[in-house]
Structure 1
């Protein structure tokens, strides 16, 4: 933790199903703090269970902010999240409450602590055009494609996932300037001047794989199918971030009669495990100076 400052904040990162919610609530109850969502999927409404948002009992245990406050039809951005987070930080400071950020989106944490590039709004039609261009590309082809627009970022990215590639390419096409160039102009993060306790929860791989499978089974029992059914009934643009939440495509295929329930669950569990692996790689590469903790190791 950084010392010498009366203002404190806690940052709890980690792959999906690593026990972040439980730790955040425990710390919030101990300090009288507030829990602030730092996960790009848990911001969306409708998908309560599918995105593993805190349940009613957990929400009642401590003040929670930025959970489910965005309509799935909105293309919410890191910049929008930062603007919302800034308001919560200001209110927490007024009430002398410790902000506790918890989630699995590394980019949100990076923007929070290191600043965020002030990129002009990118038209939806530009984003959709780039999404069509990268359809069917694997990771290496996406990286090569990104390299044509932003070589610096293409070399730096740990994984050329579709969302980041679309973001960077659409920025270059719309503004004529690379996202890397914008990022070099970032100022300090919102928590400049705060003493930070920075934690990454990193369970053993076998434990995490088991927890992911158990949790998805619980999600299905708790209403994930009905959530996806309600989401699909809105006929939203499939390119919207909320429509790409893990489980939407798999459960959608089950609802359409294309796969069995068991197959849908197996596919979603596999996709979640792959996502957790990418998250873990990102945290190790970008958060090496954070405190890494195995929350399930016997003490």
Structure 2
């Protein structure tokens, strides 16, 4: 029986320290399940583990992809599964840690099987969506797939592009494929013991941790330097990495459109709102997981 430990939870809830303790106790290796920590350009603002923390045990899928190479839940799972198998093969315990609920869901429950997308269609859609405004891309989706357009926010360019490429390549809405029961999850295997854990923290305390952590990132100068380097790459503003917490507001500060304190307060507010959405998602989706009170 192979064992895998999952530790999900909202941002700033103390997952990294807990995962390191478990890795020491279990002979474990840590696998990232955070959609922003997978990008190499986001070290500081994604609160990626420090070099000292990564030296405690092997860490995987941190800083793996370029920011202009978007990662979906399906792609993350395809990256994570071989790593998990390799860790098991070496007699160690994989510890999957992060705040992206869909990553955990894809790993545990599997994914609905969507047919392979025509690479030509994919390239054309990605290029077109990058050149359009968000309302234009959303309007185009509405004309082809009203159901998915209703489900997706106009600014969610990554998912809009996905919905467009699916309906143009397969002739069916992404919602059609999503309604097919998922397959390929670890919960289908009788040779795997999955220990599911989710962090729990009083809301006011979590919000305070979010606020203090972001201010510290800025006051050390590291966050601003990171955004400067990111802007120098001229990535499309629609990419997930450019929408990461803190990036838009610090970019506005660097452009002279916001005072620094104003940028900090706005980013802190966005971070708290994000943490609230994460808590709601985990509460609704992980009701049978073991709460870890931090």
TM-score above 0.5, yes or no:
yes
Contact kept in structure 2, 1:33 and 1:99, CA below 8 Å:
yes
**Partners of 2:31 and 2:80 in 1: how far apart?**
8
How far did residue 130 of structure 1 move? 5.6
Q: Against the structure 1 CA distance between its residues 199 and 123, is the aligned structure 2 distance closer, same or farther, given a 3 Å change threshold?
A: same
Contact kept in structure 1, 2:200 and 2:291, CA below 8 Å:
yes
Q: Which residue number corresponds to residue 3 of structure 1?
A: none
Contact kept in structure 1, 2:40 and 2:66, CA below 8 Å:
yes
Q: Against the structure 1 CA distance between its residues 202 and 130, is the aligned structure 2 distance closer, same or farther, given a 3 Å change threshold?
A: farther
RMSD: 2.8
Contact kept in structure 2, 1:130 and 1:170, CA below 8 Å:
no
One of 74, 94, 99 as aligned partner of 1:99: 94
SS at 1:246 equivalent = coil
**Partners of 2:95 and 2:239 in 1: how far apart?**
28
Structure 1, residues 179-205: CA drift from partner, whole Å, max 9, x if none?
Answer: 233231531314633111111112111
What residue ranges of structure 1 are gaps of 5+ in the alignment? 1-5
Q: Which residue number corresponds to residue 228 of structure 1?
A: 227
Q: Which residue number corresponds to residue 135 of structure 2?
A: 135
How far did residue 280 of structure 1 move? 1.1
**Partners of 2:136 and 2:12 in 1: how far apart?**
29
**Partners of 2:154 and 2:2 in 1: how far apart?**
36
1:198 aligns with 2:196: yes
Q: Which residue number corresponds to residue 110 of structure 2?
A: 115
Q: Which residue number corresponds to residue 83 of structure 2?
A: 88
Q: Against the structure 1 CA distance between its residues 180 and 137, is the aligned structure 2 distance closer, same or farther, given a 3 Å change threshold?
A: closer
Structure 1, residues 232-255: CA drift from partner, whole Å, max 9, x if none?
Answer: 101111122211111111110111
Q: Against the structure 1 CA distance between its residues 204 and 124, is the aligned structure 2 distance closer, same or farther, given a 3 Å change threshold?
A: farther
Q: Which residue number corresponds to residue 185 of structure 2?
A: 189
Contact kept in structure 1, 2:145 and 2:173, CA below 8 Å:
no
Contact kept in structure 1, 2:135 and 2:154, CA below 8 Å:
no
Q: Against the structure 1 CA distance between its residues 161 and 189, is the aligned structure 2 distance closer, same or farther, given a 3 Å change threshold?
A: farther
**Partners of 1:83 and 1:235 in 2: how far apart?**
28
SS at 1:123 equivalent = helix
Compute the TM-score of the two structures, normalised by the length of structure 1: 0.85
SS at 2:96 equivalent = strand
Q: Which runs of 4+ in 1 moved over 6 A?
A: 144-147
Contact kept in structure 2, 1:199 and 1:292, CA below 8 Å:
yes
Contact kept in structure 1, 2:29 and 2:95, CA below 8 Å:
yes
One of 22, 34, 39 as aligned partner of 1:39: 34
Aligned length: 283
Structure 1, residues 59-92: CA drift from partner, whole Å, max 9, x if none?
Answer: 1111100000111121222222112111111110
**Partners of 2:9 and 2:35 in 1: how far apart?**
13
1:64 aligns with 2:62: no
Contact kept in structure 1, 2:145 and 2:167, CA below 8 Å:
no
